[in-house]
């Protein structure tokens, strides 16, 4: 059996190969973005917490008003209220005594292979009162 080079076959196969390649590249990019998103959200959470640690250092504790401001700021950044868990120094401490701020958040990640999972993010900052 002899195979001959037919001119019409390249016209059909080239767009199919290009379409498959585009689908593979697009899927890879979407997966990479989904995998990197928890790291981006973790950094947002961490930087916001650091701001409030400086406030705690100044006052010796985190007031209820500032705790509400922290929660509202996180919600404004896109975090879900029911998934935020705050723990912090609630009473004033003297100069040099330890203070802490702990913020937990469960970030949902939906990947085709593993399904929907929550990525636990825990930011814990320890410092000392400077007041």
Domain residue ranges in the chain: 8-128
Start-end of H helices in 60-82:
64-76
CB 37: neighbour CB atoms within 10 A?
13
Mean pLDDT by 10 residues, the chain (131 residues): 61 87 93 89 94 92 94 95 94 93 92 82 93 77
pLDDT at position 3: 56
Can you give the pTM of this predicted structure?
0.75
């Amino acid at each position: 059996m002899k195979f001959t080079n037919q001119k019409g076959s390249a016209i059909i196969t080239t767009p199919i190969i290009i379409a498959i390649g585009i689908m593979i590249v697009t899927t890879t990019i979407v997966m990479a973005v989904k995998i990197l998103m928890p790291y981006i959200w973790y950094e947002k959470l961490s930087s916001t917490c650091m701001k409030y640690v400086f406030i705690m250092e100044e006052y010796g504790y985190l007031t209820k008003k500032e705790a509400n401001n922290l929660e509202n700021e996180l919600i404004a950044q896109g975090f879900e209220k029911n998934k935020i868990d705050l723990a912090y120094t609630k009473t004033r401490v003297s100069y040099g005594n330890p203070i802490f701020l702990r913020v937990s958040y469960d970030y949902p990640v939906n990947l085709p292979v593993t399904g929907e999972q929550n990525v636990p993010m825990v930011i814990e900052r320890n410092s000392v009162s400077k007041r």
